Amino acid sequence: MAGVAGVSTATAGRVLGGYGKVSETSRRKVEEAAQRLGYRANGLARSLIQGSTETIGVIVTDVGNSFFASAVRAIADEVRAAGYEMLLANTDADPQTEQRALRMMWEKRVDGVIIAPQGSGSVGHLRPLVDDGLPIVLLDRPLATLPEVDQVIINNTSCARSAVNHLIELGHRHIAVISEAAHDFPRLRSVTLAGGDAERPSAARLVGYLAALRRAGIDADEDLVVHSPYNRAAAERAVLGLLRRRPEVTAIFCTDNVLTSGAVAAIQRSGRRCPDDLSVIGFDDQDWTTLVRPQLTVVRQPRYELGSAAAHRLLQRIEERRSAPNNRSRAENTASGDAPKIQEAQRLVLRGRLIKRASTGPIPPG
Amino acid sequence: MAGVAGVSTATAGRVLGGYGKVSETSRRKVEEAAQRLGYRANGLARSLIQGSTETIGVIVTDVGNSFFASAVRAIADEVRAAGYEMLLANTDADPQTEQRALRMMWEKRVDGVIIAPQGSGSVGHLRPLVDDGLPIVLLDRPLATLPEVDQVIINNTSCARSAVNHLIELGHRHIAVISEAAHDFPRLRSVTLAGGDAERPSAARLVGYLAALRRAGIDADEDLVVHSPYNRAAAERAVLGLLRRRPEVTAIFCTDNVLTSGAVAAIQRSGRRCPDDLSVIGFDDQDWTTLVRPQLTVVRQPRYELGSAAAHRLLQRIEERRSAPNNRSRAENTASGDAPKIQEAQRLVLRGRLIKRASTGPIPPG
DNA sequence: CTGAAAGCGCTAACAC
DNA sequence: GTGTTAGCGCTTTCAG
């Protein structure tokens, strides 16, 4: 390449890499040769030497879920605008898959990571990267034992609280919730009593449900806290079971978009009329919630904004680190006697809100 | 690193990289040292030397769209099973964005690319990579001028044909179609006459619509071919306009999932009853199509399978090339007098099918 | 402004 | 088995 252009590799590099000073004449020669040879830079070599890949890693549990699809879309937009690329991985909430993805991305030298951790096991997977000083942003789920890491989340507990409050105000007393975290009911009940919060969105929403009941002086009934995995068919079965088992239930709060569609299907199949016999609140304001009859009352969460905020935060951290790579690794940090200069972690909470529509109504007489 | 373990860099490399032969003793020493130092391999250096990154590029127009979200999910699954990673980019159907993404991925040395090209302009963007011998698979949209590239697509034309046939059999004569490719109507009409096909799915579906009408001896009416971009609100407006303008329309065929939701919204707002006044067929069998009343008749396309097939094909090509890197680049090919050995491109067509439900019925009397 | 040379962290070939 | 050496393709000193 440099040979064809009749200059040294150094000059060629300066032109192609856009650094240093080059005369117009040699610039033209190089560009022409590059054109002719169909030259393309080797990003690997460049990254190897510069120590940055202009690539971030994104790890979610399921891009197929519309919630994450929106968030990833937002991240992609933000990242592209900054001239970065995005490595994407799915975990299906499997700890091992998550660990492997994280490790591979780390070895591929991503400049930062946005992750929706699968659970508390994630802390162990993230620890080495955190200690290494890699910028990380937690998406949608905080990790209490990783307080030094930035996070962008939704005010899940209070969203759930206002949803359930709405039902209570309408006169409902037998309010069921369908949740992926139902098995955590005993633990979460005490969390509520202590006024605390919970890590996973599903748990946080359940806490909100419990808090609302408690404030209204309604005893939480474990049998009305029904469990379902994130799977429409399973949710449908779970809700059908509930309605058969506890016909006195007059309202259902769904804590996730797929649980919502399962619940709506179940109610339709059960023959109960909504909202006359049964009120429903869904989670996540998807397009179809205004197409069904009655239109669904839902908690809308800013999914796209969640993604852009996370990406924005991450890119900012990467930029910070680039201009001041003090906090390289724990090893170096401990070695140098400087002030640790550990950046305060940022905790960004975006607000969802209740959209009242036609699927919620006053408690039926009788 | 090698120093701490008390061995040479070569031995350390053999252990960490998992190649060559090493004694148990030194293996243990190296692993221990690696553990202690928190060593992580540098994938960039490895890739630089081995000439493969174990990473593929995926380019779609919008991961936020449930169609692509499913396909990308499938690709992620397939790719992960093979131990690869995935760089993902969105183009919003913008040629420049597509070109930039392609270029960046190419420079980052991806081992292959899956792309849903935005249009015929994509050929120029892909040409250099194709000539370089990079494995590529076209997803969902063929490119006639790039016949040497593998493609995985849906039988869009015949899906559309059977949808419209269904309407015709029910007695409908004034059948509208809502399409992103409506402006291509004149050109596509001649394509149909010639029995040809079209590149973009939207166009292919429109061709199917025209073919069905033609076979039934119904004249296609340009005014019933309504245009809408992929945007729910726009689709809703377009369909409302159609219903006002041409009240004799008794059936609507939607050629995409977002157009479908817009059309359903419009019909609901118009006050026309479905299927009594108006039959509708949607595209893409999403969850909600069974939750609305009447349940929607739709064309189901195998979105997940489309993604897995594409990924599968690509990984296979990458494997082929790895074992026989003959066709490195055009330059070398031309130089060597060997048989070109150009692999025949594979064209995989997955079949969608019509799911008849309650939104289609016989033509109303009157 | 330009060239020569060193080296990023690794693997491949070859000796020992 | 193991160590030595020579690069992968680029950027970065450092002289000229």
Indicate the range of A158-172, A258-272, B163-177, B323-337 predicted with least confidence: B323-337
Strand order in the sheet with A347-350: A347-350, A150-154, A136-139, A112-115, A55-60, A85-90, B85-90, B55-60, B112-115, B136-139, B150-154, B347-350
Whether residue B5 has pLDDT greater than 90:
no
Q: What single letter denotes the amino acid at residue B78?
A: E
CB contact, 8 Å: A2 with chain B? no
Which of B303, B300, B306 is CA-nearest to residue B352? B300
| A80 and A172 belong to one structural domain | no
DSSP per-residue letters across A177-232? EEETTGGGHHHHHHHHHTT---SSHHHHHHHHHHHHHHHTTPPP-GGGEEE--S-H
Structure-token match 């157009």, residue found: B259
Q: Which residues of B touch A42 (CB under 8 A)?
A: 48, 107, 109
The whole-number pLDDT of residue B306 equals 98
Which of B40, B82, B23 is CA-nearest to residue B322? B82
Distance CA B183, CA B25 (A): 72
Place B8 in a pLDDT band, splitting at 50, 70 and 90.
confident
Break chain A down into helix, strand, coil percent, rounded to 5. 50, 15, 35
Q: Burial, A295: exposed, middle or buried (Cβ in 10 Å; 0-12, 13-18, 19+)? A: middle
- How far A164 CA sits from the closest chain B CA (Å)? 24
Place A195 in a pLDDT band, splitting at 50, 70 and 90.
confident
| B59 and B23 belong to one structural domain | no
The whole-number pLDDT of residue A357 equals 98
Residues composing chain B: 366
Phi–psi pair at B178, nearest 5 degrees: -115, 125
Break chain B down into helix, strand, coil percent, rounded to 5. 50, 15, 35
Contact A165, A241 (CB under 8 A): no
Please tell me what DSSP assigns to residue B173.
-
C-alpha atoms less than 13 angstroms from C-alpha of B107 in its C-beta half-sphere = 21
CA to C1' distance (Å), from B317 to D4: 37
For residue A232, give its domain range: 156-301
Q: Say if A359 falls within a structural domain.
A: no
Place B330 in a pLDDT band, splitting at 50, 70 and 90.
very low
Helices and strands in chain A: count of H runs, count of E runs:
14, 12
Whether nucleic acid strand D comes within 7 Å of the CB of B11, the answer is yes
Distance CA A160, CA A164 (A): 6
% of chain B beyond a pLDDT of 70: 94
Q: Find the CATH number of the domain harbouring A266.
A: 3.40.50.2300
| A172 and A283 belong to one structural domain | yes
- Nearest residue, CB atoms, A73 vs list B63, B73, B331: B63
The pair of structure tokens assigned to B14 is: 């053999």
| B340 and B291 belong to one structural domain | no
CA B304 to the chain's CA centroid? 10
The pair of structure tokens assigned to B214 is: 């033609």
| B133 and B200 belong to one structural domain | no
| A128 and A186 belong to one structural domain | no
Q: Say if A216 falls within a structural domain.
A: yes
Whether residue A243 has pLDDT greater than 90:
yes
CB contact, 8 Å: A109 with chain B? yes
CA to C1' distance (Å), from A42 to D14: 25
Contact B345, B147 (CB under 8 A): yes
The whole-number pLDDT of residue B325 equals 59
| A130 and A186 belong to one structural domain | no
Whether residue B137 has pLDDT greater than 50:
yes
Q: What single letter denotes the amino acid at residue B195?
A: G
| B164 and B297 belong to one structural domain | yes
Q: Say if B36 falls within a structural domain.
A: yes
Query: Which of A1, A59, A85 should be substituted to probe chain B, the one whose Cβ sees the most B Cβ atoms within 10 Å?
Result: A85
The whole-number pLDDT of residue A190 equals 85
Whether nucleic acid strand D comes within 7 Å of the CB of A19, the answer is yes
CA to C1' distance (Å), from B48 to C4: 24
| B121 and B248 belong to one structural domain | no
CB contact, 8 Å: A255 with chain B? no
Indicate the range of A26-40, A64-78, B334-348 predicted with least confidence: B334-348
Q: Could you tell me which residues are beta bridge partners of residue B177?
A: B225, B253
Phi–psi pair at A222, nearest 5 degrees: -55, -30
Structure-token match 């006024």, residue found: A195
Q: Say if A363 falls within a structural domain.
A: no
Q: Within the 13-72 window of chain A, which residues sit less than 8 Å (CB to CB) from chain B?
A: 38, 40-45, 47-48, 53, 55, 62-66, 69-70, 72
Whether residue A245 has pLDDT greater than 70:
yes
* Number of compact structural domains in chain B: 3
Residues composing chain A: 366
Q: Which residues of A touch B80 (CB under 8 A)?
A: 89-90, 97, 101
Question: Given the DSSP bridges, would you call strands A353-355 and A150-154 parallel, antiparallel or unpaired?
Answer: unpaired
Distance CA A156, CA A143 (A): 15
Q: Say if B330 falls within a structural domain.
A: yes
Q: Which residues of A touch B53 (CB under 8 A)?
A: 44, 108
Contact A89, A57 (CB under 8 A): yes
Q: Say if B286 falls within a structural domain.
A: yes
Q: What angle do CA B173, B174, B180 make, to 5 degrees?
A: 125
CA A234 to the chain's CA centroid? 23
Indicate the range of A3-17, B194-208, B253-267, B325-339 predicted with least confidence: B325-339
Whether nucleic acid strand C comes within 7 Å of the CB of B37, the answer is no
Place B343 in a pLDDT band, splitting at 50, 70 and 90.
low
The whole-number pLDDT of residue B10 equals 86
Helix (H, G, I), strand (E, B) or coil at A171: coil
**Beta-carbon contacts of residue B165 (< 8 Å; ≥ 6 apart):** B212, B215, B216
pLDDT digits (tens, 9 = 90+) for B269-320: 999 999 999 999 999 999 999 999 999 999 999 999 999 999 999 999 999 9
Distance CA B325, CA B346 (A): 19
Contact A55, B108 (CB under 8 A): yes
CB contact, 8 Å: A94 with chain B? no
Distance CA B177, CA B167 (A): 12
Q: What single letter denotes the amino acid at residue B316?
A: Q
Contact A237, A263 (CB under 8 A): no
| A116 and A179 belong to one structural domain | no
Which residue is closest to B70 within chain A, CA to CA?
Answer: A64
User: Hey, are the CB atoms on A48 and B48 less than 8 Å from each other?
Assistant: yes
The whole-number pLDDT of residue A342 equals 58
Q: What single letter denotes the amino acid at residue A172?
A: H
Whether residue B337 has pLDDT greater than 60:
no
Phi–psi pair at B300, nearest 5 degrees: -95, 130
Distance CA A236, CA B291 (A): 12
Contact A40, B106 (CB under 8 A): yes
The whole-number pLDDT of residue A326 equals 54
| A221 and A341 belong to one structural domain | no
pLDDT digits (tens, 9 = 90+) for B78-108: 999 999 999 999 999 999 999 999 999 999 9
Q: Which residues of A touch B265 (CB under 8 A)?
A: 290-291
Whether residue A206 has pLDDT greater than 80:
yes
User: Hey, are the CB atoms on A291 and B87 less than 8 Å from each other?
Assistant: no
**Segment A124-141 mean pLDDT:** 96
pLDDT digits (tens, 9 = 90+) for A36-46: 998 999 999 99
Please tell me whether the peptide bond between A275 and the residue prior to it is cis, using omega within 30 degrees of 0: yes
CB neighbours (10 Å) of residue A178?
26
Please tell me whether the peptide bond between B275 and the residue prior to it is cis, using omega within 30 degrees of 0: yes
CB contact, 8 Å: B88 with chain A? yes
Whether residue B363 has pLDDT greater than 80:
yes
Place A327 in a pLDDT band, splitting at 50, 70 and 90.
very low
The pair of structure tokens assigned to A111 is: 């400049």
Q: Say if A360 falls within a structural domain.
A: no
CB contact, 8 Å: B231 with chain A? no
Q: Which residues of B touch A254 (CB under 8 A)?
A: none
pTM for the model stands at: 0.95
CA B319 to the chain's CA centroid? 22
pLDDT digits (tens, 9 = 90+) for B157-213: 999 999 999 999 999 999 999 999 999 999 998 887 777 777 899 999 999 999 999
Which of A289, A304, A360, A352 is CA-nearest to residue A159? A352
Q: Which nucleotides of C are covered by protein (CB under 7 A)?
A: 1-5, 7-13
Average pLDDT score over chain A:
92
Residue B94: which region, alpha, beta or left (left: phi > 0; alpha: psi -120 to 50)?
beta
Average pLDDT score over chain B:
92
More confident residue, A12 or B233: B233
Contact A319, A124 (CB under 8 A): no
Contact B158, B349 (CB under 8 A): no
Place A330 in a pLDDT band, splitting at 50, 70 and 90.
very low
User: Hey, are the CB atoms on B43 and A107 less than 8 Å from each other?
Assistant: yes
Indicate the range of A262-271, A301-310, B23-32, B201-210 predicted with least confidence: B23-32
User: Hey, are the CB atoms on A107 and B62 less than 8 Å from each other?
Assistant: no
**Segment A307-318 mean pLDDT:** 98
Q: Burial, A130: exposed, middle or buried (Cβ in 10 Å; 0-12, 13-18, 19+)? A: middle
Torsional sign, CA A196, A197, A202, A207: positive
| A96 and A194 belong to one structural domain | no
Q: Say if A328 falls within a structural domain.
A: yes
Q: Could you tell me which residues are beta bridge partners of residue B150?
A: B137
Q: Within the 151-180 window of chain B, which residues sit less than 8 Å (CB to CB) from chain A?
A: none
CA B184 to the chain's CA centroid? 21
Distance CA A175, CA A45 (A): 60
Whether residue B117 has pLDDT greater than 90:
yes
Whether nucleic acid strand C comes within 7 Å of the CB of A9, the answer is yes
**Segment A264-268 mean pLDDT:** 98
Place B344 in a pLDDT band, splitting at 50, 70 and 90.
confident
**Segment A183-210 mean pLDDT:** 88
CB contact, 8 Å: B266 with chain A? no
